Chains A and B, each alone.
Chain A
Amino acid sequence: MLQKVLEEFQEAVYDTDQNRVLEIVHKAIDNGVAAEDVVFEIVIPILEKAIQSISEDDSTCLSQMFFTAQIAAAVTEEMIPLFKQAPKVVGCVVIGTSSGDFHGLGKRIVIGCLKAMMIDVIDLGLSVPPERFVDEAVANKAQLIGISSMMVHTARGENGCLKVRQILKERGLEEQIKIIVGGAPYRYDHELYKVVQADAWTENAITSSQIIKDLIKEVQK
């Protein structure tokens, strides 16, 4: 039965049909499918499939990524209270857009994916001052700071990632907290993450979850 649910779920996600997705999930729960199975056997495999397909070819578009991430997060949030035991959290990420940047779409897709992957996310919102990224990462014991930028000047600017790196260095936190960046300027210049002194970058929001998981593991070693 799980395989049939998985196939129906996948088709509804592909068609960006939110109502159908929720109907499929509710029907599965009514028919005795465990909430844990909905998340670990359906939602996460669908996300991983999306990651794989984006990595293999670039035919997946922004709206499909947005929809997949929103649905994955919504279903996961609905299922977690039904779990028999609280799920094991992988790690914690604080995320926001760089100072002066008011574009939040990429960040929102990343958050959706991370929630479904059992990663705690602290959303700091738009135009986040560099000090706040670090303060919130420390306060929440986060392993990672995610900085999203849609514009060149906010990606490269002195109050963006460069300043976050400087603060981490000054406070001796570089081993405990890593930085990942993403957004349009990084897609146009794959070396830009080095210029702004990030530890990693992500080409798109969906595939970021695997890179983030790896960075969290690196810090936790």
Chain B
Amino acid sequence: MITGMDRLIAAMSGTPCDRIPVFCFMSDQGAKELGMTLQEYYSNGEYVAEAQLKMREKYGYDNLLSLFYFGKEAELLGCKEIVFAQDGPPNVGQMILKTYDDIHKLQIPDDISSHPAFQEELKCLRILKKEAGGRYPIVAFLSASMTLPTLLMGIEKWMELLLMGPVEVRDELLTKCSEFFRKETSAYRNAGADVFVYVNPFGSTDFLPMKLIKELSLNWMEKDLQPGGTQGLVYNCSGARMNSVIEMVLERTGIGACLFSAMDDITEGKKIITGRALCGGSFNDIKLIDWSKEEIRNEVKRIIDAGRQGGKFFFGTQLMPYSIPEQNIRAMLEAAYEFGKL
């Protein structure tokens, strides 16, 4: 039986396989799957692992997701308040960096693996690895150093510091966030994650002008991904576009894969990349809530037609909203399996 890992390896190496890999990123849906509230669901790594395995089996896609919610990164750095919703991802309820003095005092844990806030994720990763390791890639989502401050001080305050604040304070924070990124990646790697989505909207010209991308973002990407750090790494600007930066990112960091946003022009992106990296095209998850089966099929076909030329392509999603109806998830995946045949 061909597994998700077989498909991923075939796509990366350009060897024959039955179809392109199909990566589906559902986290909050796990609570629905187990009939729990989101708060109850995320309280126990066993629940998350159980739902991930169950959803992969039910829908047949090629990956498992170890992400709980992005606020987990803030919890690892001291955040004590997460606001849970009934129907959407949990939010950071307490910004741990309110003043520049808080930045000076921010401590990066020495060992993330033994940190109390990491224990449920660790439990989840161990179960995923035991049950499906080596057969289905286990995917982690990690915030780049340039992006992590949004979870610690809010995007407004981060934008203020980044554009108008003291350079030495900005760099002190980025140094700490980069150290955290490297330690966090290592903790996930040791616990069994295979693929690391490097989330960096601040590495897109939708967020920052090219001047700042060149002078700042790329330098911090290099620091985050010090030699050896790009193994299994997938560049992703969250919902922001990457075509204008991808050439520089590949050249400066050596990243071997990228996941476009739904806003990116995949054809243009693949022309820029010219086979140097595995590329993923993302479905517009927000449209997936209301679109008809026909509209969903057409969009899947459009994405795969644009991306499959020249190989090294996978179909993917962003983090899918809770309210997407199950029949629409099925319609998207069935179309991806059909149009993605090789």
Q: Do A63 and B88 touch across chains, with their CB atoms under 8 A apart?
A: no
The digit string for B210-227, where 1 denotes a CB below 8 A from any CB of A, is 011000000000000000
Q: Does B208 contact A (CB under 8 A)?
A: yes
Q: Which residues of A contact B (CB under 8 A)?
A: 15-16, 18, 59, 61-64, 66-67, 70, 100-105, 108, 151-154, 156-157, 184-185, 188-189, 191-192, 195
New contact pairs (10) apart from A63-B159, A102-B91, A157-B87, CB-CB < 8 Å? A16-B164, A61-B206, A61-B208, A62-B208, A63-B207, A67-B163, A100-B83, A105-B155, A184-B239, A191-B290
Q: Which 7 A-B pairs have the closest CB atoms?
A: A153-B88, A188-B286, A152-B321, A105-B155, A153-B87, A189-B286, A62-B207
Q: Do A153 and B239 touch across chains, with their CB atoms under 8 A apart?
A: no
Q: Does B80 contact A (CB under 8 A)?
A: no
Tally the A-B contacts, defined by beta carbons under 8 Å.
85
Q: Do A151 and B88 touch across chains, with their CB atoms under 8 A apart?
A: yes
Complexed CA–CA distance, A102 and B290 (Å): 25
Interface centre among B159, B211, B290 (most CB of A within 10 A): B159
Closest to A18 in B: B164
- Quick one: which of A16, A101, A102, A151 contacts B93, CB cutoff 8 A? A102
Complexed CA–CA distance, A103 and B150 (Å): 10
- Quick one: which of B92, B239, B286, B322 contacts A102, CB cutoff 8 A? B92
Complexed CA–CA distance, A15 and B211 (Å): 9
Q: Does B186 contact A (CB under 8 A)?
A: no
B residues near A67, Cβ cutoff 8 Å: 163-164
The digit string for B279-290, where 1 denotes a CB below 8 A from any CB of A, is 000001111011
Q: With A61-B205, A105-B156 in contact, is A185–B286 under 8 Å at CB?
A: yes
B residues near A157, Cβ cutoff 8 Å: 87-88
Complexed CA–CA distance, A101 and B88 (Å): 10
Q: Which residues of B contact A (CB under 8 A)?
A: 83, 85, 87-89, 91-93, 154-156, 159, 162-164, 205-209, 211-212, 239, 262-263, 284-287, 289-290, 321-323
Complexed CA–CA distance, A64 and B209 (Å): 7
Nearest CB of chain A from residue B131's CB, rounded to whole Å: 30
Nearest CB of chain B from residue A23's CB, rounded to whole Å: 14
Complexed CA–CA distance, A188 and B290 (Å): 12
6 contacts between A and B (CB under 8 A): A63-B159, A64-B209, A100-B88, A105-B159, A152-B88, A153-B88
Q: Do B155 and A152 touch across chains, with their CB atoms under 8 A apart?
A: no
B residues near A62, Cβ cutoff 8 Å: 159, 206-208
A residues near B205, Cβ cutoff 8 Å: 59, 61
Q: With A151-B89, A184-B239 in contact, is A156–B207 under 8 Å at CB?
A: no
Complexed CA–CA distance, A153 and B155 (Å): 19
Q: Is the interface of A mostly helix, strand, loop or mixed?
A: helix
Nearest CB of chain A from residue B62's CB, rounded to whole Å: 24
B residues near A188, Cβ cutoff 8 Å: 239, 262-263, 284-287
B residues near A156, Cβ cutoff 8 Å: 289, 323
Closest to B291 in A: A189
Q: With A63-B208, A188-B239, A188-B287 in contact, is A16–B323 under 8 Å at CB?
A: no
A residues near B85, Cβ cutoff 8 Å: 100, 153-154
Complexed CA–CA distance, A18 and B209 (Å): 16
Closest to B205 in A: A61
- Quick one: which of B156, B284, B322 contacts A153, CB cutoff 8 A? B322
- Quick one: which of B156, B262, B323 contacts A152, CB cutoff 8 A? B323
Complexed CA–CA distance, A153 and B289 (Å): 11
Q: Do A195 and B290 touch across chains, with their CB atoms under 8 A apart?
A: yes
Complexed CA–CA distance, A105 and B163 (Å): 14
Nearest CB of chain A from residue B176's CB, rounded to whole Å: 21
Closest to A15 in B: B211
B residues near A104, Cβ cutoff 8 Å: 154-156
Nearest CB of chain B from residue A189's CB, rounded to whole Å: 5
Complexed CA–CA distance, A61 and B209 (Å): 6
Complexed CA–CA distance, A72 and B162 (Å): 18
A residues near B88, Cβ cutoff 8 Å: 100, 151-154, 157
Complexed CA–CA distance, A58 and B288 (Å): 24
Interface centre among A64, A66, A154 (most CB of B within 10 A): A66
A residues near B212, Cβ cutoff 8 Å: 63
Complexed CA–CA distance, A99 and B83 (Å): 12
Complexed CA–CA distance, A157 and B162 (Å): 33
Complexed CA–CA distance, A157 and B211 (Å): 39
Complexed CA–CA distance, A187 and B162 (Å): 25
Complexed CA–CA distance, A188 and B263 (Å): 8
Complexed CA–CA distance, A156 and B91 (Å): 17
Complexed CA–CA distance, A113 and B220 (Å): 32
A residues near B239, Cβ cutoff 8 Å: 184, 188
Nearest CB of chain B from residue A99's CB, rounded to whole Å: 10
Closest to B240 in A: A62
Q: Do A108 and B321 touch across chains, with their CB atoms under 8 A apart?
A: no
Complexed CA–CA distance, A157 and B262 (Å): 23
Nearest CB of chain B from residue A12's CB, rounded to whole Å: 12
Closest to B95 in A: A102
B residues near A191, Cβ cutoff 8 Å: 290
Nearest CB of chain B from residue A205's CB, rounded to whole Å: 12
